[in-house]
Amino acid sequence: MRIILLGAPGAGKGTQAQYLMGKFGIPQISTGDMLRSAIKAGTEMGLAAKKVMDEGKLVSDDIIIGLVKERIAQDDCKDGFLLDGFPRTIPQADAMKDAGVSVDHVIEFDVPDDVIVDRMGGRRVHPASGRVYHVVYNPPKEEGKDDVTGEELIIRDDDKEETVRARLGIYHEQTQPLVDYYSAEAEAGNCAYHKLDGTQPVETVSAQLGELLG
Ligand SMILES: Nc1ncnc2c1ncn2[C@@H]1O[C@H](COP(=O)(O)OP(=O)(O)O)[C@@H](O)[C@H]1O
């Protein structure tokens, strides 16, 4: 079960990744979370990545591809994985194909930009686990606290409206072409492609995913 979650920042990929991990027992590979933990650890790569991410831009394909290859070689990925936030560009998708990494399902989350801007203002995250909440649409049980550990939730530096708009621009320019890329892959019989209406409530989207991936 190898799944790619495709969609704009804020479309709900991380939220549904939580559901899919539980349902299928496969790990979520979030390149954003991997980069943020490198930033926190203060590694050289992390410092370089932070500068780029704070401007709302994409980290270089080479860095990301290296990270992902290393991660999917680990033992917990042998029955499958969920790629969340990767590939982000056509060269990244090509690199994955060249490395012989096939995928079973590509799931596109379709959400208009204005809905996304509204969502990002309310997003709260638990950095250690990657769990994600929304103050209105998906609130934690206790305000400001992670449901599982009770630790503090944070607001991501790149969730400011200005940065979100920059990220959406880059999504449309560099990542949305993957919609056609993977639709063509599906037509060639290399994977299944599913498009979901990501404006529906969290539970509705989860239910549709459960049905699709059965
Ligand atoms: N179906 C939904 N309806 C309303 N809000 C949602 C929905 N899915 C996710 N959210 C909220 O929108 C924000 C972005 O979701 P997230 O899963 O972090 O997106 P992504 O991983 O695609 O960037 C979060 O605050 C999340 O709680």
Please write the tens of the pLDDT for every residue from 93-144: 998 888 888 999 999 999 999 999 999 989 999 999 989 999 999 999 999 9
pLDDT score recorded for residue 123: 92
pLDDT score recorded for residue 101: 87
Strands (E), 68-159: 81-84, 105-110, 123-126, 131-134
Instruction: State the complex-level ipTM.
Output: 0.90
pTM: 0.88
Between the CA of 122 and the centroid of ligand 1 the distance, in Å, is 9
Q: How confident is the model at residue 149 (pLDDT cuts 50, 70, 90)?
A: very high
The CA distance from 33 to 85, in Å, is 9
Side chain identity, residue 105: H
Strands (E), the chain: 2-7, 28-30, 81-84, 105-110, 123-126, 131-134, 192-197
> What are the tens digits of pLDDT across the range 1-47?
999 999 999 999 999 999 999 999 999 999 888 888 889 999 888 88
CATH, domain range 2-213: 3.40.50.300
Q: Is the CB of 122 under 6 A from ligand 1?
A: yes
Question: Collapsing DSSP states into helix, strand and coil, what is residue 60?
Answer: coil
Q: Is the CB of 7 under 6 A from ligand 1?
A: yes
Selected residue with higher pLDDT from 96 and 173: 173
Map out the domains of the chain as residue ranges: 2-213
Q: Is the CB of 17 under 6 A from ligand 1?
A: no
Active-site annotation holds for 88: yes
Q: Is the CB of 123 under 6 A from ligand 1?
A: yes
Q: Is 131 annotated as a binding residue?
A: no
Q: Is 87 annotated as a binding residue?
A: yes
The CA distance from 87 to 181, in Å, is 11
Active-site annotation holds for 124: no
Taking residues 194-198, what's their average pLDDT? 97
pLDDT score recorded for residue 199: 97
Distance set, CA 15 to CA 39, 60, 149 (Å): 22, 25, 17
> What are the tens digits of pLDDT across the range 41-92?
998 888 888 988 888 888 888 888 888 888 898 999 999 999 998 999 999 9
DSSP 8-state secondary structure symbol assigned to residue 138: B
For the four alpha carbons of 140, 145, 146 and 152, in that order, the dihedral sign comes to positive
Q: Is 165 annotated as a binding residue?
A: no
Contact by Cβ (8 Å): 86, 31: yes
